[in-house]
Amino acid sequence: MEPNSSNLYIITGGPGSGKTTLLEELSKENFITAPEEGRRIIKEQLISHGTGLPWIDRKYFAELMFEASLKTYEKMRSISAAEAIFFDRGILDTLGYLKLENILVPEEMEIKAKELIYQKNVFILPPWKEIYQNDEERKQTFEVAIATFECMKEIYLEYGYHVIEVPKITAEERTQFIMEFIKRKS
């Protein structure tokens, strides 16, 4: 494992499963967190009337997400924190997205995904219909959220990560679940 990657934790899953809320709770516990790049990119593209949107140009959107994820990874890896750092999605999420959309994953992306590793325990949030909501940036159906969850689980397993499914409980309880898991593993 690369130096300083053992404390870089990913929280992944389909859209609308509570990742952002969970990251907010982890932040309240004084953990360093990195927000999801996809939502930020969608907002920027909407404001600038850009085409890097998943409903206009999925491949370009994925390229923007990948580049942003690389920058965030490098930034977070450079932080010398002893505590866990949590990412709302990781570099592999872009590869999962491309596979979900039946778009060929460029070789350069695969190489980078193998080089830039995170903590091998990845937390995945399952689809949760009761909390799922659409908004200006999230236009996917709940069925797509389920397919995304399956795809993310598959891509992380394919790259040798251990996927831990976080139960459908309150954000505070999910935070405790993750903190207890990390404490047991250290």
- Domains within the chain, CATH numbers bracketed: 8-185 (3.40.50.300)
- Coil/strand/helix, residue 34: strand
Q: How far apart are CA 183 and CA 131, in angstroms?
A: 28
Residue 1 pLDDT greater than 50, yes or no: no
Helices (H) and strands (E) in the chain, counts: 7, 5
pTM: 0.89
- For residue 165, give the amino acid letter: E
Strand order through the sheet with 162-165: 32-34, 85-88, 8-13, 121-125, 162-165
pLDDT at residue 166 in the model: 97
Q: Is the model's pLDDT at 67 over the cut of 80?
A: yes
Is residue 139 very low, low, confident or very high in pLDDT (cuts 50, 70, 90)? Answer: low
Instruction: Specify the pLDDT at position 133.
Output: 64
AA identity, residue 155? I
Distance CA 124, CA 102 (A): 22
133 burial level (CB within 10 Å; 0-12, 13-18, 19+): exposed
pLDDT of 105 > 60? The answer is: yes
Question: Any idea which of 19-23, 41-45, 132-136 has the lowest mean pLDDT?
Answer: 132-136
Question: What tokens appear for 149 in the block?
Answer: 């969850």
Q: Is 80 exceeded by the pLDDT of residue 3?
A: no
Note the pLDDT of residue 143: 82
Checking if the pLDDT of 90 tops 80, the result is: yes
- Distance of alpha carbon 78 from alpha carbon 161, whole angstroms: 22
Binned at pLDDT 50, 70 and 90, residue 2 comes out as: very low
DSSP H/E element including 164:
strand 162-165
The residue type found at 77 is R
Residue 165 CB neighbours (<10 A): 12
